[in-house]
């Protein structure tokens, strides 16, 4: 059945709520309004205000309440409207949720799922266009997911809810309208990367909203005689190093595509992983395609210029070959 990324998420939420009475949702405008991105539309009518809870505009407060509910045996799903607002709850996520299991000597777990809309490309200007996935991927004690396909949007939530530790799931805003075939029942793990396009000459490594652009770039490279493999990281913490390294050792060249800014980016971590573990397998230095080091502009042409685009990915790839191979 063909459905959108948004519909796949809604279906996953509906299945979780119907299948486990401990599951409930909290967030700003998720009830009567149906969510800023319409992911929770209709769920209030189905499950009622006790389980679809509109919250005050206080991320620090409702994420903390979610942590308390998780400690008390519930399975809360907390929606944070955009990733920049998650900064208001950093203390709860980083200093509390991520650390309870460790600091209690394993006596307590925090089975909390936090859904966050992330990324740029919709002309919502500098304060609502951030990509902070690398910040959260830096923190031990949480899992960080970045579903980039309709199938992963449908399947990752169930696995996240079954995890005893906190899971932060980043949903790129440019993906909500993406459509693809997706069954009702999807089993997806939250530990491994996935090869989205097999290839033999170049590894293109990416995640989230950059995956569609990377697949477009891979098709363009194919017309130039370069057979590119596309790796979708999917899970940003813990990283699936074996899948990344296997691709790089086979292809011998790598480009990492990451919408985060270049300085301190997740792309930098991936490049370090490659250089530390596969340096002698490389035929060229790894390259990165990241957002330009400026606040995200409002104007459409400037926003496009700042973000990773297929053309930039192709150019970075070609630089590793000097001339495209025959």
Positions marked catalytic: 59, 128
Compute the radius of gyration of the chain from its Cα atoms: 20
CA distance 211 to 5: 14
CA torsion, ordered 139, 140, 141, 146, to nearest 10 deg: 60
Q: Which two tokens stand for residue 32?
A: 């009567």
Q: Is 297 helix (H, G, I), strand (E, B) or coil?
A: coil
Q: Which two tokens stand for residue 40?
A: 């929770």
Instruction: Identify the CA nearest to 117 among candidates 147, 97, 159, 88.
Output: 147
Rounded-to-integer distance, Cα 304 and Cα 103, Å: 44
What's CA 162's distance to the chain center, in Å? 18
Could you tell me if 14 and 20 are in contact, meaning their C-beta atoms sit under 8 angstroms apart?
no
Long-range Cβ pairs for the range 271-278 (8 Å, 24+): 273/239, 273/241, 273/244, 273/245, 274/244, 274/245, 274/248, 277/241, 277/245, 278/245, 278/248, 278/249
Q: Nearest to residue 110, comparing CAs of 121, 99, 119?
A: 99
């Amino acid at each position: 059945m063909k459905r959108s990324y948004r519909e796949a998420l809604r279906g996953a939420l509906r299945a979780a709520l119907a299948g486990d009475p401990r599951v409930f949702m909290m967030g700003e405008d998720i009830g009567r309004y149906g969510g800023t991105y319409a992911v929770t539309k209709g769920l209030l009518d189905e499950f009622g205000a006790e389980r679809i809870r509109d919250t005050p505009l206080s991320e620090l407060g409702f994420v903390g309440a979610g942590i308390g509910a998780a400690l008390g045996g519930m399975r809360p799903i907390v929606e944070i409207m955009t990733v920049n607002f998650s900064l208001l709850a950093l203390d709860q996520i980083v200093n509390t949720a991520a650390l309870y299991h460790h600091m209690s000597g394993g006596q307590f777990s925090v089975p909390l799922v936090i859904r966050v809309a992330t990324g740029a490309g919709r002309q919502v200007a500098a304060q609502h266009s951030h990509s902070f996935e690398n910040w959260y991927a830096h923190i031990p004690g949480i899992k960080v997911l970045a579903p980039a396909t309709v199938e992963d949007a449908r399947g990752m939530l169930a696995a996240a809810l079954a995890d005893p530790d906190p899971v932060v799931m980043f949903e790129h805003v440019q993906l909500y309208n993406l459509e693809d075939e997706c069954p009702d029942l999807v089993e997806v793990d939250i530990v491994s990367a996935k090869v989205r396009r097999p290839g033999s000459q170049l590894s293109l490594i990416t995640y989230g909203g950059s995956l569609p652009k990377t697949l477009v770039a891979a098709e363009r490279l194919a017309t130039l005689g370069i057979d590119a493999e596309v790796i979708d990281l999917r899970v940003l913490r813990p990283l699936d190093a074996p899948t990344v390294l296997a691709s790089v050792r086979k292809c011998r060249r790598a480009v990492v595509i990451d919408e985060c800014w270049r300085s301190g980016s997740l792309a930098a971590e991936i490049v370090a992983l490659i250089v530390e573990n596969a340096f002698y397998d490389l035929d060229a230095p790894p390259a990165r395609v990241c957002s330009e080091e400026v606040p995200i502009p409002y104007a459409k042409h400037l926003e496009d210029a700042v973000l990773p685009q297929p053309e930039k990915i192709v150019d970075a790839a070609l630089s590793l070959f000097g001339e495209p191979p025959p």
